[in-house]
Amino acid sequence: MPTVLVDGQEVEIDADERLNCIEVARRAGVEIPHYCWHPGLSVVASCRMCLIQAGTRNAETGDVSMVPKLVPGCQTPAKDGTVIVTNSEVVRQSRARVEEALLIDHPIDCPICDKAGECLLQDYHFEHGQSERRADIHPFSSRRRDVGPTVTLFVDRCIMCTRCVRFTREVSGTAELMVSARGAKEEIDTFPGFPLDNKLSGNVVDLCPVGALGDKDFLYQQRVWFLKKTENVCGGCATGCSIVTEHNQDTVYRLKPRENQHVNKWWMCDEGRYGWHHLHDATRIVEVSHRNHTHWNTVEWTSALGQLTKDLHDAGRLAVAVSPMLTIEEAWMLCAVARAIDPDAYLAMGHVPSTDHDESFPGGFTIRREKSPNRIGIEMILSMFNALTENSTVPEWKEFLEQIRTEAVQSAWVTAGYPTPETSWCDEETAAVFDNMNCLVVQDLFRSPLSKRATWCLPASGFAERHGTWVNCGHRAQTFEQAIRPPAGVWPEGRVFWSLLGRQGLYDPESIRETIAKNSVGFAALSGDMPSLGVDLRLQQVTGT
């Protein structure tokens, strides 16, 4: 096995791994500071923060010969016998000088900078910089200009790592950003008339190691040290990007992508990134209401659930639309509830919102046409409950509507939870199909023509308020935690179904997941603790059989 020596520590790497010195040092627990290098972008070796001493060790004699000058860790491949020194006096001085150079023209306006608290320039300065300023003191300035609809640029804070420029060239493939001028006068800019306007634009803010690029959506909303971070999954499309929900006091402030090489690499799209505002929309349904002809009554949850069960019981055959926004645990419980009420209940897939086509980017990122995170998971749950014959498939929303139209069923339970407050997912014409139901339960985030016709209108919860597992378009199951509590009055679906099943105590998704894993070969991999990057259900199936 190839061995690399990092500060005297031996690190073994795989023979086919292509790593640079930064990556290898990280394995030895040694952090080599760097700005311009990013694993998802090309190497430019221009910030010179990662300068280290490197050399090779002769395998036979054990003699070490070092390169007589400093080399950039990002550009130097780590091979068998590579020797890396990161803690020598020369390296320490070199880092201090780069930090000093970067601060010569930097405004050092940390108190009013959004990045303060998560800024690499700050962090590295504390760790590697020198306490004394030797360069002349510049007048404070914070020039700002918009580079696009989502991103604003604080020109003087930039350290010219060009990560953002490379991102737009290599990953989004739109190449809006460029470097203008030369030397110490150079700036990041866009060409007049071609602003930074693409579906991945928000990523440049994550890439920016300093406070130069600001996200207009997040700018001046919250100091970053107040934010709590919960690992989550984006519910915007079938890609199911691994994300971190950053929130404080039950308010989401921003979403950031979480590295997951199986799903989204390091990126997420703007649609997902800014797709949390519906959680705090004032028009959300926050109470249970019961309709008596044209009169709506607000009902307490505890009494509502009993009445609702009774209503459905008395209404005739039940049809349930299981929304692809639900987690598999919630879906499983919903199906179990439905079958308890009516053993002959008709279970179908809920409405799956979608656009015309997938959108792929040169960097290997894809925004899916299907705008729901869990269609495949719901399908698998539904096939567990519907004893399917060889050729039959899970009934879709269209078939569900057909059942209603032909009055093959007399009551319906429609789960929704689609994050579109402005445009309703269900139009008047579709909703009219439900006019003759004996009992209609609608569980949704926002009012719609359908909810107007409901007998029982229940609030639903948003993605950051759920706890459970979603299966993305690549059959990868990702389990995530609840980030924030839903608004007062809203019970998350899991809690509702848990109560309807008559379970004791708090909703426990782990126990449901365990049950699902035990009862389905397809879900067998979900047993036990889930890795934070999820598991590939197909892969597990292949290896399991």
Partner 1 sequence: MKPSDTFQPVLLEAAGIQDGFSIKSYRSRGGYAPLEKLLVEKKPAEVVDLVKSSGLRGRGGAGFMTGLKWTFLPKDHPGPIYLCVNADESEPGTFNNRILMEEDPHQVLEGIIISAYATRASTAYIYLRYEYPKSWDALQKAIDEAYEAGLLGDNIQGSGFSLDIYLHRGAAAYICGEETGLIESLEGKRAWPRIKPPFPAIEGVFRKPTVVNNIETMACVAQIARRGIEWFRSIGIPADPDNPRDPGSYGPKLYCLSGHVEKPGCYEAPLGITARELINRFGGGVWKGRRVKAVIPGGISMGLMTEDELDTPLDFTGPGTVGCLGLGTAAVVVIDDTVSIVDFLHNSCRFFAHESCGQCTPCREGTNWSLRMLERIRAGKGRLRDLDLLAEIGDTMGMMPGSTICGLADGAAWPIKNSITKFRDEFENYIKQTNPTGYMETDPVPALPIVTTH
For the segment 48-67, give every residue that binds partner 1 (CB under 8 A).
Answer: 48-49, 51, 67
Instruction: Choose the binding region for partner 1 from 21-29, 68-76, 279-287, 511-519 (rule: CB under 8 A).
Output: 68-76
169-228 residues in contact with partner 1 (CB under 8 A) are 178-179, 181-186
Nearest distance from C-beta of residue 394 to partner 1, angstroms? 50
Give me 139's structure tokens: 């007048």
What residues between 145 and 164 interact with partner 1 by CB under 8 A? 159-160
Dihedral in degrees, nearest 10, Cα atoms 105, 107, 108, 111:
-170
Distance of closest approach, residue 284 Cβ to partner 1, in angstroms? 49
Kindly indicate which of the ranges 96-104, 117-125, 233-241, 252-260 contains the residues binding partner 1, using the contact rule CB under 8 A. Answer: 96-104
Question: Please, which residues have CB within 8 angstroms of residue 287's CB and are 6 or more apart in sequence?
Answer: 298, 459, 489
The answer to whether 142 touches 156, Cβ cutoff 8 Å, is yes
The reply to whether 108 sits near partner 1 by the rule CB under 8 A is no
Q: Does 366 bind partner 1 (CB under 8 A)?
A: no
Q: Report the distance separating Cα 328 and Cα 338, nearest Å.
A: 15
Nearest approach, Cβ of residue 169 and partner 1 (Å):
10
Contact stretch for partner 1 (CB under 8 A) within 98-106, 225-233, 331-339, 427-435? 98-106
Q: Which stretch binds partner 1 (CB under 8 A): 3-11, 92-100, 232-240, 508-516?
A: 92-100
d(CA 493, CA 498): 8
- Asked if 139 is part of the footprint of partner 1 (rule: CB under 8 A), the reply reads yes
Q: How many whole angstroms separate alpha carbon 456 and alpha carbon 349?
A: 20
Told to check if 387 binds partner 1 by CB under 8 A, we report no
CB of 205 to partner 1, least distance (A): 22
Distance CA 54, CA 85 (A): 6
Least gap, CB of 48 to partner 1 (angstroms): 5
Q: Distance between CA 71 and CA 406 in Å, rounded?
A: 75
Does 97 bind partner 1 (CB under 8 A)? Our answer is yes
Q: How many residues bind partner 1 (CB under 8 A)?
A: 38
118 touching partner 1, by CB under 8 A: no
Contact between 157 and 109 (Cβ < 8 Å): yes
Beta bridge partners of 11: 4
User: Which sign, positive or negative, has the C-alpha torsion 474, 480, 484, 487?
Assistant: positive
> How many residues does the structure list for the chain?
545
- CA angle (531, 534, 539) in 5-degree steps: 110
Give me the residues that bind partner 1 (CB under 8 A), please: 43-49, 51, 67, 69-72, 75, 94, 97-98, 101-102, 104-105, 133-139, 159-160, 178-179, 181-186
